[in-house]
Structure 1
Amino acid sequence: MTTVNDLRPHPLDQIHRLIEPGPVILVTTRHRGIPNVMTNGFNMMVRHVPPLIAGTIGPWDHSYRALTETGECVISIPTADLAATVVDIGNCSGADVDKFERFGLTAVPGEKVRAPLVAECFANIECKVADSTLVAPYHLFLLEPVRAWTDPAHPEPQLFHHRGDGTFTLDGPTIDLKSRMAKWQYLL
């Protein structure tokens, strides 16, 4: 039987590496007419229906001001083939460079928000800030999806997940346990 004496302590400042929240995403905003895109590795679904997404974007991010002032953004979900570009996007600031131009991204107008979609991404979710009460204490935005798009050219997208130390995990094989989801049939 395993006891606490058999276990090794884990640093609290590294637990984000144990509970990875979701795929690496791009968050686009438009502030004073200028589009921007940032990399984000701290995001998660909060609920299914109606959908609600949480994302951490702090005042150290150029997009923070745009998101707090406009109340809208697009969550763009890149596939693993864009991983190096996504990391490079995160290594510079939209205050200094037009990231769409520098990284050859195509901005596509949204239908419900002014922030652009990213054509190169497998999915784009237009969002409005649903609740900002957690922004000041935690830099946590609760986002309500208002329109979503997927690219049929990516029928089985391979997403990638941040491990918090410069390494990433790729989506692997899918296992189908739908028949066991007795309590959640309405989700199938």
Structure 2
Amino acid sequence: MTDTTDRAAELADLAARFPRLHAPQRWAWGGIDARFSAELPPDALITNIHLVGFSGDGVVLCRDARGHWFLPGGTREEAESIESCLARELREEAGARLAGAPVWIGAHRCVTDRPVPYRPWQPHPEKAWLWGWAEVTVDSAPTNPEDGEQVVEVRAVAPEEARRLLTQGREAWWGELVDLAVESRARAD
């Protein structure tokens, strides 16, 4: 088999094992059609970066003032690197910092039907949301900038609890994303 054939088989296997994560999605809040792939997009398309952060055996989750649990991450600022965005978002939302290099496990490739980009410097109408995992250390309170989510709680929970909290009233793919990160981390050990 060639490397291309091996990679295609690997991607097909991931899609079969994580079907909800790989299914086409409609994110109505942003007029976005999204599709997950383990193939990483070009840097220029990446507008959002999110992380399954591991603290010991737990997954770090944030709870906002509305009671929603989420993984830390967010929107890249103009000319911001992926690494700088990730460090900033971890500090803002989880009061955390990287304790190891991130491992990128995939991205949602997105197309929006909105007439203008969310932020003027972002690619449009195509963009990508990058997903990864890393070891993190929670060592302060979230900074909660005024223009971001107002985080009221940060907690490291078992992966099973992370799946449960992330899928309450939301799409089941969130649980599969956690499963993929846990699997990727186990392979790295």
Whether TM exceeds 0.5 here: the answer is no
TM tier, smaller:
under 0.3
Higher relative contact order (CA 8 A, sep 6+): 2
TM-score by length of 2: 0.28
Report the structure number with the largest CA radius of gyration.
Answer: 1
Indicate the structure with greater helix content: 2
TM-score by length of 1: 0.28
